Amino acid sequence: MAKLDRNGVKIHYEVHGSGPTLLLSHGYSSSCRMWDAQITALKDRYQVVVWDFRGHGESDYPTDAGLYSEALTVGDMQALLDTVGARKAIVAGLSLGGYMSLAFAASHPERVSALMLFDTGPGFKKDEAREKWNETAAKRAADFDVRGLAALNASDEVKLTRHRDATGLAGAARGMLAQQNDRVIQSLDKVAVPTLVLVGANDTNFLAATDYMAAKIKGATKAVVPDAGHASNLHQPTHFNQAVEAFLATLPAA
């Protein structure tokens, strides 16, 4: 298993197949295992890179709260692309992974050839809405502090994952799930690459965010996966993969 050393924090990653690079980032409290069906579908034509966030899965779980942040996660993504030799990549993710993909594109637009945003949102313009979100993240962290891995929910993407303990999930909730500003949502109208915005039809918490991103990102393609919830790639992998492959087919050859 490959590990990327980021100043003493080891990040688990995997590289499957060859071709244009596709970087897939998972959701909060999940891991790269949620992408297995997409790896199988795409590895014959793409270099599919999957990885585990800090505090998740097979990556390290730092005890220092300062080692979890949006900026460090974006840095991890940049280092992964450097490691696999990708000057540019199709950057994609679900939920927190989608938000971090947008954060990466805002920080390093020159490294992004296309974006795919699955069942995610761009954060909040209003301080009050962000504070409410952050309160929820803090409550999740506190629950992990008290109950350990018993605090994990039973959603499909989470059930696929093995975490060694809950300390990393608590740290990630406070430093990565919580949001510090409106930088990402304010970057949407600056996105200048082909973008797919996809959501499960039953993912009610993210339907409005999907519409907002599709409207704000110039030329974005919107897709709705029928009879699917938040983990749309797991609930309807065939429909999900068809939407992804139809979008990828529109991209210029690398």
pLDDT of 151-194, one tens digit each?
998 888 988 889 999 999 999 999 999 999 999 999 999 999 99
User: What would the DSSP string read from start to end of 121-139?
Assistant: ----SSHHHHHHHHHHHHH
Q: ∠ at Cα 169 (241, 64), nearest 5°?
A: 130
Q: HSE (CB half, 13 Å, CA atoms) of 37?
A: 17
Q: Which domains occur in the chain, in start order? A: 2-248 (3.40.50.1820)
For residue 160, the model assigns a pLDDT of 84
82 pLDDT above the threshold of 70: yes
85 pLDDT above the threshold of 90: yes
Cβ partners under 8 Å of residue 110, min gap 6? 88
Best CA proximity match to 217, nearest among 186, 246, 243: 186
Beta bridge partners, 115, equal: 91, 195
For residue 253, the model assigns a pLDDT of 78
What's the residue count for the chain?
254
Beta bridge partners, 196, equal: 116, 221
Rounded mean pLDDT, 202-215: 97
Strands 221-225, 195-200: pairing is parallel
Write the pLDDT tens digit of every residue in 137-157.
999 999 999 999 999 988 889
Q: Which amino acid is at 212?
A: Y
Round to whole Å and give the CA distance between 93 and 242.
16
- Alpha carbon of residue 215 to chain centroid: 20
Cα radius of gyration rounded to whole Å, the chain? 17
Region of poorest pLDDT, from 1-5, 73-77, 105-109, 209-213: 1-5
For residue 254, the model assigns a pLDDT of 63
1 pLDDT above the threshold of 80: no
